[in-house]
Amino acid sequence: MMDQLLAMRVFCAIVEAQGFSAAAERLDSTHSSVSRQLKRLEAELGVQLLNRTTRRFALTAAGQRYYDACVDILARVEAATQAMAHEHQRVAGTLRVSVPLAIGTLELADWLPAFQQRYPDLHLDLSCSDEMVDLVADGFDVALRISQPLGDSSLVAKVLVESDIVLVASPAYLARHGLPVAPQALETHALIAFSGSQTATEWVIETAQGDTVRIPLEGRLSTDAITAAYSASLSGVGIAAFTWNTVRPALARGHLVHVLPSCTLGKRLYYALYPHTRHVAPKVRAFVDYMGEHYRAA
Query: What is the domain-level CATH number for residue 258?
Result: 3.40.190.290
User: What is the number of other CB atoms lying within 10 angstroms of the CB of residue 226?
Assistant: 23
**Is the pTM higher than 0.75?**
no
State how beta strands 257-259 and 142-147 pair.
unpaired
Give the CATH number, domain containing residue 82: 1.10.10.10
Domain assignment of residue 263, given as a range: 93-298
Residue 209 shares a structural domain with residue 256 = yes
Yes or no: say if 217 and 203 are a contact pair by the CB < 8 Å rule: yes
Half-sphere exposure of 3 (CA within 13 A, CB side): 8
Half-sphere exposure of 288 (CA within 13 A, CB side): 19
Compute φ and ψ for 114, nearest 5 degrees: -70, -35
Residue 51 shares a structural domain with residue 146 = no
Residue 191 shares a structural domain with residue 140 = yes
Residue 202 shares a structural domain with residue 283 = yes
- Residue 37's pLDDT is what? 92
Q: Which residues contact 155 (CB under 8 A, 6 or more apart)?
A: 135, 273, 274, 275, 276
Residue 72 shares a structural domain with residue 158 = no
Residue 104 shares a structural domain with residue 165 = yes
How many domains are contained in the chain?
A: 2
User: What DSSP element (H or E) covers 32?
Assistant: helix 31-45
For 179-205, what is each residue's pLDDT tens digit? 999 999 999 999 999 886 655 688 999
Yes or no: say if 219 and 190 are a contact pair by the CB < 8 Å rule: yes
Q: In the listed set 55, 89, 123, which residue is the last one of a domain according to the structure?
A: 89
Which residues of the chain are under the pLDDT cut of 70? 1-2, 53-55, 85-89, 151-153, 196-200, 278
Q: Exposure string (b/e) for 118-152, b if CB count within 10 Å is 16 or more? A: ebeebeeeeeeebeeeebeeeebbbbbbbeeeeee
Residue 40 shares a structural domain with residue 119 = no
Residue 112 shares a structural domain with residue 217 = yes
Residue 78 shares a structural domain with residue 128 = no
Q: In the listed set 50, 70, 89, which residue is the last one of a domain according to the structure?
A: 89
Residue 49 shares a structural domain with residue 98 = no
Q: In the listed set 66, 89, 112, which residue is the last one of a domain according to the structure?
A: 89
Residue 158 shares a structural domain with residue 109 = yes
User: What is the number of other CB atoms lying within 10 angstroms of the CB of residue 110?
Assistant: 16
Residue 161 shares a structural domain with residue 245 = yes
- Residue 79's pLDDT is what? 81
Instruction: Name the DSSP class of 68.
Output: H
Q: Which of 247, 281, 25, 65 is nearest to 146 (CA)?
A: 247
- Residue 17's pLDDT is what? 86
For the CA atoms of 212, 214, 215, 217, the dihedral, rounded to the nearest 10 degrees, stands at: 140
